[in-house]
Structure 1
């Protein structure tokens, strides 16, 4: 049940996440075009756009109800891994030839991409890790291989960021899954309440039918008793008997008024 909710969440997040990924790739190409050979950058951008378009096309084909949630989650993880590898290739392509300003700009772009990915993919941590790990590994490798004085701080800060991001993603996933479970519990409770309401209505109808039948069954002997009293009152009884018959008549009339 939870896996189906996870798959639906990924499905709803796909369009915006796919668009954001394409925009980030284009911005990276435009802002860092002088940090690497132009043909390589164009080839990388084409691969990114092709992968993004392919993911969007498959997401469009799979729109609607999800019949196999586990398969959908595995597909999301594979696509995230492909996306992560492509972004890692982009980092290794532009990082070595970039100055500190362009590297900082690259880190800002990657941070924005990672933030958007967290909200889209945190519901299924394997998909998020499949994106994060290649990118972080490429940043650390590029920083350490650069040989500059800031290589260790950059590498360490990147790893610290990864740890904090995964902790935040885990908390976000717990919140989302908790909301899914609460929604299912509320639905089950509502169904139980509806069943109990139906039972109560059925019992009320049965009681009404029973009282109607009992009233009919009791009305007949009371009516017969009233006829007997009327017949006795028409005969010339003694004074004491007449008084008692009057009491009986009052009692019969009172019982008849109850029906």
Structure 2
């Protein structure tokens, strides 16, 4: 709650009892002007008295109507200002009428009537300090005009006693003003303290609920991950056992394909967990660029074409060539998750990808003819682990992180995200992305001009304290014709490098190593050893810890999450080696 809201709430809560009091005392406040008319009937023009009385009674009646309506309406601090202004106008009106009465009904030749008017004005003026306690402007527009009118009337008398009374009235006016201000400050400060305390208590309660939700979410992660990871692991163990007993090449090839599918399922689950961890750790930093959204959607269509065809669904793109200003990798991840979600829950029909300009933004939408999302479930659609009824033929269920990642990435990029859905009709997911510059988005998408690499004996250093992983990496890289030097620690790697007299062309290191070492320090130590900070380094980790992910992000090194697909690893190695390999060593 900001300062303006606090002031609004203080004024609102201070005036709530005042509105109630004005309504309850409306009848008794009519007795005062009637008493004035009765007392002054023989001293002042009677028509003037009656006219003044009618005006005052009209003001009191209007204030009663106002306070009654306020009592019946659902007024809260955010919409109370108009009611406060109306009450203030009523006070201006009545304060002005009483100031006129004090000035006009003062009888110089009748001491009893003088005393009556003086007593009445002082009582009304000083008594209005209580209104100022609720809201100081109420005192300024009601009590101050009455006392000022009396002061001016004394000044017009022109005698020494009245001049003394003028000085005394000025002192009384200043004293009452100071007292009203201090009393108002005291009341408001107490209310501020109470509101801030209540607000702090509410924030603590919300924080406590968030922490409880976080603990519950972690428990659900463990429970869900444990279940969903056991499925491909169980299938994998069965396939491996079947492979051992297979004598048929065709059967072995079929089992290998099944093994690959199980591995792919596990990778997707780990990728989802890793993405959520990186977003939780706030280590994902957008890298904005201009690129063609139509080309981007076309590539995503090609990527999912086989899956759509397998389910006999149409996958269509409707977009004109237009530039967007975004992080292409993150935007593609958003759209990829939306497309996967659409294909997963669509039994017939298809999925449509559209992009159209809206002034300064491009509206990107993913339409599907799927099962739809019930209205009561749409607010929870982007929460973790929220999964709809899965079609019976759908095996790739996942952890339910897809839409949660979409929401977090949209929040990170500050993109509006909307969902419209009807059960049995389908869903529309909409994302708005800033417009980019056409000239800056002219990027060559033809892969024929990209250089390809060959190992040609390049030396890759591998550091991993898990011997199974170390042996597997050494075997894989050697099969790609690399010269591999592998060891479980930095010290052993340094010893082997001295013996072999080789200089590393690339360093692959696990982020977490035994002892005090970590992969960042290992890579930097080897760079210092050879006096070359440009030696490419890649971190590979199975950790999802926030601190470790932040440390890796700050290092500037490429971070790869285990398990990594061999094709992805090869692509990453290619990128790092081609960035440092002389043109003469690159084949095209």
Distance 1:89 1:98, change over 3 A: farther
TM-score normalised over the length of structure 2: 0.33
Would the aligned equivalents of 2:125 and 2:146 in 1 still touch at CA under 8 Å? Answer: no
* Distance of 1:178 and 1:70 partners within structure 2: 20
Distance 1:12 1:113, change over 3 A: same
Secondary structure of the corresponding residue to residue 95 of structure 1: coil
Distance 1:92 1:183, change over 3 A: same
Would the aligned equivalents of 2:40 and 2:113 in 1 still touch at CA under 8 Å? Answer: yes
Q: How does 1:95-244 map to 2 (within 5 A)?
A: 95-97=106-108, 99-198=110-209
Paired residue for 1:94?
105
* Distance of 1:126 and 1:188 partners within structure 2: 27
* Distance of 2:66 and 2:210 partners within structure 1: 47
Paired residue for 1:32?
40
Q: Deviations over 1:204-224 (max 9, x none)?
A: 8778xx9xxxxxxxxxxxxxx
* Distance of 1:29 and 1:156 partners within structure 2: 29
Structure 1 residue 72: Cα displacement: 2.9
Would the aligned equivalents of 1:21 and 1:113 in 2 still touch at CA under 8 Å? Answer: no
Q: Which runs of 5+ in 1 are unaligned?
A: 211-259
The structure whose residues are more often strand, as a share, is: 2
* Distance of 1:203 and 1:7 partners within structure 2: 36
Structure 1 residue 197: Cα displacement: 4.1
Q: Deviations over 1:22-79 (max 9, x none)?
A: 3322232233333312222222111111111112112222333145333333323222
1:5 matched to 2:13? The reply is: no
Aligned pairs, number: 213
Distance 1:68 1:196, change over 3 A: closer
Structure 1 residue 91: Cα displacement: 1.1
Q: Deviations over 1:174-204 (max 9, x none)?
A: 1121122112112122223323544665688
1:83 matched to 2:91? The reply is: no
Once the two structures are overlaid, the 10-residue window that deviates more, 85-94 or 75-84, is: 75-84
Distance 1:23 1:13, change over 3 A: farther
* Distance of 1:190 and 1:120 partners within structure 2: 30
* Distance of 1:132 and 1:165 partners within structure 2: 9
Structure 1 residue 87: Cα displacement: 0.5
Q: Which runs of 5+ in 2 are unaligned?
A: 223-588
Structure 1 residue 102: Cα displacement: 2.3
The structure whose residues are more often helix, as a share, is: 1
1:55 matched to 2:66? The reply is: no
Which of 3, 14, 22 in structure 1 is aligned with 2:19? 14
